[in-house]
Structure 1
Amino acid sequence: MKPTAAPVIRTIDLHQPMRWLVLGWRDIGHCGWVSFAHGLVLTVVGLGLLVLARHQFWWLAGAFSGLLVVGPVLATGLYALSRAVERDEARSWRLVLKTWLSWRRHGSGRDGKDWRLVQFGLLLGLAGTGWVLTSAALITLMSPVPIEQPLDFLKYVVLARDNWLFEVWLALGGLMAAPMFASSAIAIPLLLDRRISVLQAVITSWEAVLNNPVPMAWWATLIMGFSLLGLLSALLGLIAVMPMLGHASWHAYRDLVDASAWPERTTGQPGAY
């Protein structure tokens, strides 16, 4: 079934992103340990990266920032949980597992499978990998000394006064992150909720961001700020930050888009794309 009309993009106020965070915490209260487990998994992955790249910090800086790029995909289970809270349905690991494995179930599409979330995840994964490689190459080529430890990165990149490496690194990261944020701000929740194509979801996400540039810039700032707090707390803060932002992103989608004209996608019954 094809959508018969374009979704309605709503205009939001500057205070709405803060409301999303409050609603995110409310959803954590409803879902409990299932929500926090998502953050715990991300923390364990981050600690693993620290161990693997402890002597190659130039890789680590890119890897952690790359995690932020693929964050919307990692939060897919949280979107499903928030939708279940909204519908007063059961919230459990069974729902999360069904959501992650929905691409394996037979649907009504041409190939009998729903590959949209997989496709979008691969696209974001490629973008994250591209940033890791770009970040590593930039720091390796421009740093005056080898960057092997976090203190080396802080001393010779962040606090260096005789070069512009940190500023260039931030600017390049921003240039790569901005279109990825616009593409993914609401795309994954939309793909989870409605039977539309990846391209349609990305276009809708861009429209939502462009129609609300100031509130969405504030939302991106909040995401970055809380993510940095999680990283700087020895990664332990991610246990709470990741589920809060994931649940909040579902409410961002619900406030920004009226997708009622699009066919609904129910968990375990993938759409036609």
Structure 2
Amino acid sequence: MSDTLPGHGLPSLIPEPSPITTGDLIAVLKLGWRDFTRAPLYGITLSAVYVLGGILMYAIFAASAAEYWFIPIAVGFPILAPFAATGLYEVSRRLERGAPLGLGAVFGVVFAQKDRQVPSMAMFVLLVFMFWVFIAHTTFALFFGLQPITEDASGMLLTGNGIIMLLVGSAVGGVMAALFYALTVVSLPLLLDREVDFITAMITSFACVAANPLPMALWAAVIAAALFIGMLPLFLGLFVVLPVFGHASWHLYRRLLPAEGV
């Protein structure tokens, strides 16, 4: 693929996205399941960090009788989930190339990212996550002031102020989630696979979404629904959801930005 800047004849740092269809989404999910069943140890190991972390956080909030504050954390969980997939991208890449698998080889590549652009991307993601939690707290304060949440939290949410707060919070959160998704859905596999900076990776990711708005919107909805369902049984469903969608995301990246000619 040879990309040039219009009117300059100079190489562009941003690869040109390929068009995809809903059929591609089904195909990459099948490939994601295939990779998971071929190398389940990696998916289960990486998912365990998030499953155990989620259970631990809930236990801490429950011990403080503040389970309600776990809700914005859980809602913001998809922001952090892609980092569980970094190792899964490497597994899929090795399976794709017929390269040997090994814990040392796979995690060696993951740890080597500390000297590349992934830490910068991680900082961006962490800041977005912290900002989301801040927005959730601020939205509550705007509608309820310093009023503490009682044990009847559901009763508070069903009041006039509570319903408006949920609507406003959902609207703001939806806009943030859509923008964040557009900037990151392709960024991490691209950073792992090619020598680009994280800003270029985010711009490229946004371009991929802009070039395929309907399939990428559907993919976002499927991911959100799968993560929500996976978190319901004490996060245990994430042992399957995270690996399958992590592997599938690699194959989606490959379809959006084919390696040939790059």
Give the TM-score normalised by the residue count of structure 1. 0.83
Counterparts of 1:34-49 in structure 2, within 5 Å, are 34-49=42-57
Q: State the shift of 1:148 in Å.
A: 6.1
Which residue in 1 is equivalent to 2:6? Answer: none
- Contact 1:39–1:242 (8 Å) recurs in 2: yes
Question: Which residues in structure 2 correspond to 1:114-129 (within 5 Å)?
Answer: 114=116, 116-129=117-130
Q: Where do 5+ consecutive residues of structure 2 fail to align?
A: 4-10
Give the partner amino acid of 2:93: R
Please give the alpha-carbon distance, in whole angstroms, between the structure 1 residues aligned to 2:124 and 2:35.
Answer: 28
**Offset of residue 16 of structure 1:** 1.9
- 1:146 maps to a residue whose letter is P
Give the alignment of 1:1-273 within 5 angstroms.
4-5=11-12, 6-54=14-62, 55-104=65-114, 113-114=115-116, 116-143=117-144, 146-147=148-149, 152=153, 154-157=154-157, 160=158, 162=160, 163-262=163-262
What are structure 1's unaligned runs of at least 5 residues? 105-112, 263-273
Contact map agreement 1:140 1:147 (CA 8 A) in 2: no
On the 8 A contact 1:57/1:147 being kept in 2, the answer is no
1:155 CA displacement: 4.5
Equivalent pairs counted in the alignment come to 247
- Give the Å deviation of 1:8: 2.8
Query: How far does residue 18 in structure 1 lie from its aligned partner after superposition?
Result: 2.2
Distance 1:233 1:143, change over 3 A: farther
| CA displacement at 1:143 relative to structure 2 | 4.6
Deviation larger for 29-38 or 179-188: 29-38
More helix per residue: 2
SS at match of 2:99: coil
- Deviation string 1:58-113 (CA, Å, 9 cap, x unpaired) is 43122122221122223111111111110112223223321231145xxxxxxxx4
% identity of equivalent residues: 30
- In structure 2, how many angstroms separate the alpha carbons of the residues matched to 1:34 and 1:12? 28
Change (3 A) 1:147 1:75: farther
The whole-number CA distance in structure 1 between the counterparts of 2:29 and 2:148 is: 40
**Quick one: distance in 2 between partners of 1:117 and 1:14?**
29
What is the alpha-carbon distance in structure 2 between the residues aligned to residue 74 and residue 121 of structure 1? 12
* Contact map agreement 1:7 1:259 (CA 8 A) in 2: no
- Distance across 1 between alignment mates of 2:148 and 2:29: 40
Which shifted more, 116-125 or 32-41? 32-41
Distance (whole Å) between structure 2 residues aligned to residue 40 and residue 97 of structure 1: 15
What does the per-residue CA deviation read over 1:175-196, in whole Å, with 9 as the maximum and x for residues that have no partner?
1111110000111001100111
Partner of 2:224: helix, strand, or coil?
helix
Across the aligned residues of Structure 1 and Structure 2, the Cα RMSD in angstroms comes to 2.1
* Poorly superposed stretches of 4+, deviation over 4 Å: 3-6, 259-262
TM-score, normalising length: structure 2 = 0.86
